[in-house]
Structure 1
Amino acid sequence: MDSIRSSQTTKAIQRISESVFVGLCHKVGTSQLVAMRRDVVDLRDMVMNRGKTNKDQSVMISGSYREGFRLKGSDMDFMLWHNDQRIIWELSQSQYYDTNRQSLILCDCSDSPPGFTLLYLLSPSMDRDMLWVSVRVNNRYYVSSSKYRQIYLSVLSPEFIPHGPCATLTTGAGEIDNAYCFVCDFWPPSASSWIDRCHSWPQPHVVDDIVKNGCHFVAIGHKLGNHEDHEWRISFSKAEHKLVYAMNHCQFLTYGLLKLFLSEIINNGLDDADKLLCSYHMKTAVFWVIQQNTIPHWCPQNLLECFWVCFKLILKWVYEGVCPNFFIPGNNMFLSKIHGVKQHQLNIRLSELYGKGLAFLLHSPSIRSYIIDVLHNPRNSICTDDHTLISEVEFDRYLFNELLNDRLGTPDEWDIQICIKYLHIIEQMIGSPLLTQYQVLKLQTITAFVLQKTAFILHMETFIPDNKLRYRADKISCHMMKLAARFGCFTYMLYLAMYYYKTFRYMEVLSITEMIIFKSSHPSVLGSNLNTETYSEALRGRSWSTKMRQAVLGDIKLENKIHYIGELIPEQQSALQNDRSYLNVPAFILLFMLEILCYTHIDTRRAQRALNRLQTLVHYDQGLLTDLKDRDISWQILGICQQVTGNLQAALYSYQQSRRQKPTNKIRTATEMRIQRVCQGIPVIKVYL
């Protein structure tokens, strides 16, 4: 009888595991979705580094965003380092460098805890810039991590705040962490034991790839070390995202479940100072469990067992006060934070959860319903083929959102030479057999982005007195705009419309806006009112490139250092003063604005009708056609259009409404200026470009 009950319990847990697996695929992502996100970020990383104007600096996207998560709180982390500075572990490694072009820094781990080191300047006379962030000890110059942090924080926007080794900026979409660091081309000797442990996981080619890529050093010392202000921590960020890529999907979802468990149960309601466990501890636990081969089968039926094994390991670490770093086990990551009374309290809390068994997962809002469904309907079949868990339409939504919202990290200062450089990079990459289908699509959106930017910069920077040459330059710009519309989503036609408006071709502008309105009214357009059946019927079997051109309605991002419309220059200048690099304008808001501005020169009655449409959209749209987070710019544009048509009282109300919205686009200075001008009866001043 006991064996029968045990068998029934096991089957019940397996069914719940399958249901939770399905839930996590919806919450965290299917294997296809995660692969797509990683491919897009990898290509972004590649283009970003190839296109950097300063070849002496490299950038790497890291963190959970790079790993493929898009959970709330999935930060976008950047690691930045100078290529003309290299770390070596021993003097013999200096033979691999040209010391006339690269300054070398030697690790000195003799008096630092495992996982940390001092960085000794070998040639301080040749590297005078580093002396500003160095300390002198026994006639040696060591790069001080605390001074290094102070320097890079001083040159960033005041909105960046120190957070461990990073400078952190909080935005509406989450946090951005910039970690300024050093790079080393050699694997740390203290992590050599990790190579010997890799018998079953990861595979040998992954191990080789990780080892040959070395490591980084981030500017933070050990709190209990002898040189906390000057030590540097060895970072394995690059190795870690390669390890996460090497996980199968069940392993990745177990990691995701641990992250949800941490945020929704363990740390729920706690202040930041009381959050002792972090996502990095969860990831470390998964790494150890996979490598120790504790679980023979990572599959949907065993998902909760996999989670439970990882949880027990974390509980053991908390009880013992020891969390061994995956690469350098001698580095106890609990040593400076989880000890004494705090360790005891955390152990009690985790032990209470352990006593409840897996039932404590019912406290997780993200997966509770998937557990309850099985308990209420124990005989329902559960499909765990994650390729069938989301529809074609859902996947397309995720894909195009990723392609359009993941902006290319590009230089602050653009000119024609930089544009040409990016176009050359794109030309080199097009047709590469190494690119995945998602990377080809991402490259396509980058191409559209660079083409439209090039066209506007060409118009801004080029003064051509000769009519024939000016005509040719205009033809080139128009051609690039049309190419951008072919590569990007169909709202890229609005960039061409802005260019036509800028060059006084009002009828051409209206022709484009009419065409966009007609195309966007089709029920197959990927908007909030999408008819999924019509979308499938119209676009089934079509390439993603075709779908993007025909069915994707994206917002318009106006780079604030490029002038698109004279009427919006005050908003762009205001945003720039507040370190906002672009305005995010809902497509229909910009479309109606262009209609109104053009009709004021052609037909005032039609201008009023277009203004009525814009007013209705701004007043009553609840996120169907415009993103609610961009209400500041939507109200602002309505006010500009009302002021242009002479309705100053309505314009004043709109500007006041813009001032009350969340300052997403940071246009408050422009709003105040416009309110003052309206009160003085001054009309909109258009800047002719």
Structure 2
Amino acid sequence: MALQTLSESVYVELCLEIGTPQQVAIRRDVLDVRESVIHKTAKTNEHVTMSSGSYREGYRYEDSDIDFVCWSNDHRVLWNSSQAKFYNIHEDKYSLILCDNSESPPGFTLLRSPLYAFPLKESHWAKLVLLSCVRISTERKDLYISSALYREITRPLIKPNSTVHGPCSSGRLDNLKDYDYAFGFVSDFWPPSASSWIGRCHSWPPPHVVDDIIRGGCHFVAIGHKFGEHPDDEWRISFSQAERKLVYAMNHTQFLIYGLLKCFVKELINKGLNEEEKLLCSYHMKTAVFWAIQQNTIAHWCPQNLLEGFWVCFKILLKWVYEGYCPNFFIPENNMFLGKVHGAAQWNLFTQLHGLYEKGISFLLQSLSFSSCFMDVLCNLKLSVCTDERLLIPEVEIDKELFLEIYQKCALPMINLGTCMKDLHVVEQLMRSPLTESQILMLQALTTNTLQSSAFMLHDKYIKIPGGNKKMYIADKRSSYMLKLAAKFGCVSDLLYNAIYLYITFRHREALSVIEMTKVKLAQPGLMNGEQVDPEKYTKAVRRRSWSYKMKHAVLNNIILHKSICYIKELLPEQQSSSESQIRRASLHIPPFILLHMLEFLCRRHVDPMRAQTALDHLKILVHHDQGVLVNRVLKDISWEILGICQHITGNHKAALYSYRQSLKQFPLHKIDTATQKRIQDLYTQNRIQDSYTILYQR
């Protein structure tokens, strides 16, 4: 009984640390919808990116990296030549790559160079593939794609200073998150070497999941087997998409056990070790959970049995280390310990794990993350634990997570009007399928963002056409309609896109009217501004309302200005500086209150110059004195920049110079330092010219 209570206590602690079933479902739904839209609109000659790893599975560890698998959409890998009949290579312009795993270790294969049925100039990726081709022996006439060459050629595509980490290009995004991009290829067919897995799936996963996994095929990532005959030329078969579907098929207790195993490895096994010394990783933990579930090792995977489930997985791991054999879940002949867990290192690891085994489950007391919940139960064995997720996390916290997830992922790649129309078409198709409430809300946010981008793209396109007054009039009507429609779907701050459009089309009084309307909405109590919210006021305002209602009436988001679209000409240098930096950002993120005061200042200058100074004063007070309540601290670089621009416009060069210098001191999220330095240089130039005129006048 005490063990069951202890299990429930750990279950609750893990829900608070890792997420409740609802929180995990939200994270998955949002990402699934985004990727579904992107993949359905991808052209044949483009590359496709799929997020993978812990983040995609639903974990949100602060120190974990973000994993991606990228592949060329105009290449397909075949297991045998008969599969070519499923492709029209001339019309669809696919390049077919044939596997050759006759000499490769289990889980690896060689890839033959494709024969291209179209001009290479039409495919950037085809050129990269040809540059990676080698002849692996004098006996073989065929060319093969070298994994080592392909990995090196694709390494700088994300960032020039990316480093190689296994099959991946690795680096750091915006000084916030580490990334791993694995560039490779896709096959629409299930590997023959993994056919035995299908026969094992009697009880888990369910048949519909098995069918979905088989239909999804597999991927190939650029790394060979250390002990293969061609380690620089072989490719590893990747089941990342299948693994994600298996994790989705877990119940929440199983998912939390997997999370507990990840913490166990990090905090007890790998703590203080460098990368070379680490023998176990999260992937081994995931594999252990897969095998434990499929082998029906315990009757009920529920909160009361969480620690029993953990112990089963731990014993599987102990057995693998003792034997020096960790069987891949899909291809058991692939020993994932080969070349790493052997000799003295293997014995030392087994000794360490066996020492923990002898202590029993209490060894988790050594884990800083979960020692407190163990102590609570051990000190009070009659303690009753509530595992109802509805009582674990307040409604406001669930909402905060949902709206932050959507905000972070609602911006699709905006290339041109054509891609925007394709995005809207795919969203319309997805709306007809069965959806959860969070998926509907994500589609709603994608629609809003795409309509806003389309409106500004349309305006930008026709304003450049000389003498196109009629076309400009029609485009203006359509842009205005799209922005009004977006405001109906979007959150409170989305009204500011309408104000931007009215400003750049010289309808300053109308823009001010929208700004005043936005001020009224922003003054409502209980608004959720990113992570800033008064829980009591928010709950009182929108408790038990639908998420769609909450987003429209109680949620603020930063205003996103995509680098490829012209919004406000005063901010064009910042957009260009951000896109030209070594770490290219796709957009500027401006706090709504900052943009509100900026727009009011810009509009008032044309219709009411006396009140323009008041708007500027409000902006100055906000930037100087806000402590992260209305303006997120990581957005201070663009906030100080905007204040400096407005002060520069009024001719207050001293104040502008101070603001620009403050912008340079902030966390460089937007990478706008080039624009800031240029503005400072312009100030000095203007001051020198002004001084020259003053001297001449005095003479």
TM-score, with structure 2 as normaliser: 0.90
**Structure 2 match to 1:622:** 627
Q: Which runs of 5+ in 1 are unaligned?
A: 1-10, 684-689
Q: Give the C-alpha shift of residue 547 in structure 1.
A: 0.8
Q: Is it true that 1:131 corresponds to 2:130 in the alignment?
A: yes
Identify the range of structure 1 (256-265 vs 154-163) with the bigger mean alpha-carbon deviation. 154-163
**Pairwise CA distance, 1:500:** 1.5
> In the alignment, what sits opposite 1:28?
18
Who is 2:429 aligned against?
428
Change (3 A) 1:577 1:83: closer
Q: Could you tell me which residue of structure 1 aligns to residue 601 of structure 2?
A: 596
Aligned AA for 1:591?
L
Give 1:603 deviation, angstroms: 4.0
Deviates more, 1:163-172 or 1:275-284: 163-172
Q: Distance in 1 between matches of 2:117 and 2:494?
A: 53
Cα distance in 1 for partners of 2:468, 2:83 equals 59
2:460 aligns with 460
- Show the counterpart of 2:476: 474
In structure 1, C-alpha distance between the alignment counterparts of 2:568 and 2:117, rounded to whole Å: 51
Code of the residue aligned with 2:516 in structure 1: it is: E
Judge conservation of contact 1:87–1:182 (CA < 8 Å) in 2: yes
Matched, 1:383 2:386: yes
Instruction: Kindly indicate whether the alpha-carbon contact (under 8 Å) linking 1:53 and 1:418 is maintained by their aligned counterparts in 2.
Output: no
Q: Secondary structure at the match of 1:182?
A: strand
Give the equivalent residue in structure 1 for 2:275.
272
Question: What displacement does 1:617 show?
Answer: 2.3
1:286 aligns with 2:285: no
Inter-CA distance 154–38: structure 2 relative to 1 (3 Å threshold)? closer
The answer as to whether partners of 2:76 and 2:186 remain within 8 angstroms in 1 is: yes
Q: Which amino acid aligns with 1:416?
A: L
Q: Paired residue for 1:8?
A: none
Instruction: Tell me which of 656, 661, 682 is aligned to 2:666.
Output: 661
| Alpha-carbon offset, residue 529 of structure 1 | 5.7
Supply the AA of the counterpart residue of 1:112: S
Do the aligned residues in 1 keep the contact of 2:462 with 2:471 (CA within 8 Å)?
A: no
CA deviation after TM superposition for structure 1 residue 489, in Å? 1.0
Using the alignment, how far apart are the partners of 1:290 and 1:53 within structure 2? 39
Within a 5 Å distance, the mapping from 1:440-519 to structure 2 comes to 440-463=440-463, 465-519=467-521
1:418-453 Cα offsets, whole Å, 9 max, x none, are: 2222233233333x1323222111110001101110
Q: Secondary structure at the match of 2:51?
A: strand
What do you get for the CA RMSD once the two structures are aligned? 2.4
Checking the alignment, whether the CA contact within 8 Å between 2:43 and 2:73 is kept in structure 1 is no
Task: After TM superposition, give the deviation of residue 74 of structure 1 in Å.
Answer: 4.4
What is the aligned partner in structure 1 of residue 419 from structure 2? 418
Match 1:63 to one of 45, 50, 53:
53
Shift of 1:409: 4.0
Partners of 2:447 and 2:558 lie apart in 1 by 17
| Equivalent in the alignment of 1:104 | 96
Secondary structure class of the residue paired with 1:303: helix
CA distance, structure 2, for counterparts of residue 481 and residue 314 of structure 1: 56
SS, match of residue 30 in structure 2? helix
Q: Residues of 1 paired with 2:86 and 2:146: CA distance?
A: 25
Equivalent position of 1:300 in the other structure: 303
Following the alignment from structure 1 to structure 2, what is the Cα–Cα distance between the partners of residues 360 and 678?
A: 64
Contact kept in structure 1, 2:412 and 2:446, CA below 8 Å: no
Give the CA deviation at 1:599.
Answer: 2.8
**SS of structure 2 residue aligned to 1:388:** helix
Secondary structure at the counterpart of residue 564 of structure 1: coil
Please list, as runs of the form range in 1=range in 2, the aligned pairs for 1:176-575 lying within 5 A after superposition: 176-411=179-414, 414-430=415-431, 432-463=432-463, 465-527=467-529, 530-575=533-578
Residues 494-535 of structure 1 show CA distances to partners (whole Å, capped at 9, x for unaligned) of 111111221222233333333333322322211466343433
**Shift of residue 338, structure 1, vs aligned partner:** 2.7
- Give 1:674's aligned residue: 679
Partner Cα separation in structure 2 for residue 286 and residue 665 of structure 1: 41
For residues 622 and 564 of structure 1, do their structure 2 counterparts lie closer, same or farther at Cα, with a shift above 3 Å needed? same
- Give yes or no for contact 1:124–1:131 (8 Å, CA) kept in 2: no
Which deviates more from structure 2 when the two are superposed, residues 448-457 or residues 609-618?
609-618
Moved more, 127-136 or 420-429: 127-136
Supply the distance in 2 between the matched residues of 1:74 and 1:489 (Cα, whole angstroms).
30
Sequence identity, in percent?
Answer: 54
The reply on whether 1:79 has 2:69 as its aligned counterpart is: yes
What SS does the aligned partner of 2:169 have?
A: strand
1:529 and 1:216 map into 2 onto residues whose CA distance is 41
Task: Provide the rounded CA distance (Å) in 1 between the counterparts of 2:680 and 2:166.
Answer: 42
How far, CA to CA, are the matches of 1:341 and 1:562 in structure 2? 59
Q: Mark the runs of 5 or more structure 2 residues left unpaired by the alignment.
A: 121-125, 689-699
- 1:646-667 C-alpha deviation (Å, 9 max, x unpaired): 3222222222221122211011
Is 1:643 aligned to 2:652, yes or no? no
Q: What CA deviation, in whole Å up to 9, does each residue of 1:186-228 have, x standing for no partner?
A: 2222212212222221122222222232211111101222211
In the alignment, which residue of structure 2 is the partner of 1:6? none
Name the CA shift for 1:155/1:525 in 2 (closer, same or farther; >3 Å).
closer
CA distance in 2, matches of 1:488, 1:673: 36
1:5 is aligned to none
Alpha carbons of structure 1 residues 342 and 505: separation in structure 2 relative to 1, 3 Å: farther
Q: Distance in 2 between matches of 1:545 and 1:640?
A: 36
Structure 1 CA distance for aligned equivalents of residues 168 and 98 of structure 2: 23
1:114 lines up with 2:106 in the alignment: yes
Distance 1:517 1:374 in 2: 51
What secondary structure, in the 3-state scheme, does the structure 2 residue paired with 1:435 have? coil
Q: Is the 8 A contact 2:566 2:572 kept in 1?
A: yes
Letter in 1 for 2:108: F
TM-score, scaled relative to structure 1 = 0.92
How many correspondences in the alignment? 670
Task: Measure, in 1, the Cα distance between the counterparts of 2:117 and 2:428.
Answer: 43
Alignment deviations for residues 278-319 of structure 1 (CA, whole Å, 9 cap, x no partner): 211111111011111112211111111211221222222223
Q: Which residue of 1 aligns with 2:695?
A: none
Contact 2:44 2:73 in 1 (8 A): no
Pairwise CA distance, 1:94: 3.2
Distance verdict in 2 for CA 1:614–1:355, change over 3 Å: farther
Give 1:680 shift. Answer: 3.1
CA contact (8 A) 1:523 1:529 kept: no
Distance 2:76 2:356 in 1: 47
Q: Is the alpha carbon distance of 1:410 and 1:664 closer, same or farther for their aligned partners in structure 2, counting shifts above 3 Å?
A: same
Rate the CA distance shift 1:352–1:623 in 2: closer, same or farther, 3 A: farther
Q: CA deviation at 1:124?
A: 7.3
One-letter amino acid matched to 1:450? T
Identify the range of structure 1 (271-280 vs 495-504) with the bigger mean alpha-carbon deviation: 271-280
Residues 577 and 673 of structure 2 are in contact (CA less than 8 Å); yes or no, is this contact kept in structure 1?
yes
Which residue identity is paired with 1:521? A
Matched letter for residue 472 of structure 1? I
Name the counterpart of 2:145. 143
1:1-54 deviations in Å (ceiling 9; x for gaps): xxxxxxxxxx22221211111111122111122122222211111100122244
Q: Which amino acid aligns with 1:35?
A: A
* C-alpha contact (below 8 Å) 2:156/2:169 kept by paired residues: no
Structure 2: distance between partners of 1:633 and 1:302 = 51
For residues 510 and 275 of structure 1, do their structure 2 counterparts lie closer, same or farther at Cα, with a shift above 3 Å needed? farther
Q: In the aligned structure 2, how far is the partner of 1:669 from the partner of 1:27? A: 40
Give the equivalent residue in structure 1 for 2:36: 46
What SS does the aligned partner of 1:216 have? strand
| Distance apart, 1:548 and its partner CA | 0.2
Contact 1:124 1:141 in 2 (8 A): no
